[in-house]
Amino acid sequence: METVSLTIPDMKSPHCQMTVTNTVTAIGGKVRSIAPAKVEIRLGDGLTREQLIDAIQKVGYNVINGTI
């Protein structure tokens, strides 16, 4: 499985982190670590980096970078 690290500047509070975690889980990813403005996600089978970023942006968070 591929792991992606993302910077999400507006994800600072525990509520924001929970929203991102729930979004990632709902599309088949797994949060490996999460901190204010940073998250590391393991992609599930068939889940792409682009799908992941799109889902996070749809719940209102800007992703400024994503590295593998």
Dump pLDDT digits (tens) for 20-60: 999 999 999 999 999 999 999 999 889 999 999 999 999 99
Which residues have C-beta within 8 Å of that of residue 30, sequence separation ≥ 6?
Answer: 24, 41, 42, 44
In the chain the domains, ranked by start, together with CATH numbers, are 3-67 (3.30.70.100)
Q: Who has greater pLDDT, 1 or 30? A: 30
SS3 percent helix, strand, coil of the chain, rounded to 5, is 35, 30, 40
The reported pTM is: 0.90
Instruction: Return the SS3 of 16.
Output: helix
User: Using an 8 Å Cβ cutoff, are 3 and 42 in contact?
Assistant: yes
